[in-house]
Amino acid sequence: MSRSPKPTVVLIHGAFADASSFAQVIPRLIARGLDVVAPAVPNRSLIGDAAYIASIVRQIPGDVILVGHSYGGAVITVAGTEDNVKGLVYLAGYALEKGESLGELQGRFPDSDLAAALVYTPFPIEGSSETGTDVTVQPDKFPAIFAADVDSRLAEVLAVSQRPLAAQAFADAAPAAAWKTKPSWGLVASSDHTINPDVERYGYQRAGMKTVEVDSSHLVMLSHPERVVELIEEAVQATSA
């Protein structure tokens, strides 16, 4: 395949969601002439999820801009060390330091409303007598915590179609921090009730990335897709120059 003059935009969804959370962003990016990939993240462990996304990135010809929402920010922090990744965009996401876990970063700040709405469910681990723990959000609390500014009917669908996150993902320490060597952009959802916005601000400021703030719920891609696309385009243009 020939090398594309523009990077491919790879969209990484977060916990309790899937790639359809980018449904308002994808057509806008395609309309701007960008190639887009939006894979399904296993949501089993930070180390395993990042390795899976890195394997997808390696197979993309040409340059890549990695975009991570929420937990997806932690994933791109690790997977973004791939050679063809030219920039990182964080959307209401976790920008971890090397050696840091989600639990450690969150623990520095007061809990968001999410903490009291989590549900823990055991699941079988293939080939093992042990069980893992799936984490989801109480469906009746999901709309207010995740999607307060998203159409209520859509929020109800998202609430009952969650993709669980295994508890292991909160404990894994990031083996690398790609923002140390790759240009990065961060969007703070200032009305976020899923991640304390100060967690987002702290990670972005520590990384020295350019940061914008949007008065949005956690699902900023659905409530403010144009603003998200503008930030992604800024990263595309800056890394393509």
CATH code: domain of residue 64: 3.40.50.1820
Domain span at 39: 8-108+168-240
DSSP states of 174-224 as a string?
Answer: PS--GGGTS-EEEEEETT-SSS-HHHHHHHHHHHT-EEEEE---S-HHHHS
Q: Does residue 129 belong to any structural domain of this protein? A: no
Angle at alpha carbon of residue 225, lines to 141 and 216, rounded to 5°: 45
Does residue 126 belong to any structural domain of this protein?
no
Residue 12 placed within a domain:
yes
**Does a structural domain hold residue 49?**
yes
User: Hey, which bits of the chain come out as E strands?
Assistant: 8-12, 36-37, 64-69, 85-91, 118-124, 131-137, 165-166, 184-189, 210-214
Is 23 contained in some domain? yes
pLDDT higher than threshold 50 for residue 96: yes
Task: Quote the CA–CA distance of 87 and 183 in Å, as a whole number.
Answer: 5
Dist CA 14 CA 68 (whole Å): 7
Examine the pLDDT at 64 and tell me if it is beyond 90.
yes
Quick: pLDDT tens for 97-154: 999 999 999 999 999 999 999 999 999 988 888 999 999 999 999 999 999 999 999 9
pLDDT (average), residues 212-238: 98
pLDDT at 5: 79
Q: How many domains does the chain have?
A: 1
Q: Does 133 reside within a domain? A: no
Q: Is residue 193 part of a domain?
A: yes
Using a pLDDT cut of 70, give the percent of the chain over it: 98
* SS3 of 28-39: HHHHCCCCEECC
**SS3 state of residue 135:** strand
Could you give the C-alpha distances from 21 to 17, 91, 100, 130, 206, in angstroms and in order? Answer: 7, 12, 27, 32, 27
Asked whether residue 179 is assigned to any structural domain, the reply reads yes
In this predicted structure, the answer to whether residue 1 has a pLDDT above a threshold of 80 is: no
Contact 208, 181 (CB under 8 A): no
Residue whose structure tokens are 């469910």: 121
The Cα 171–Cα 176 span in angstroms is: 15
Which 8-state DSSP code applies to residue 133?
Answer: E
Tell me, what's the pLDDT at 2?
42
Does residue 19 surpass a pLDDT of 80?
yes
Query: Is pLDDT above 50 for 236?
Result: yes
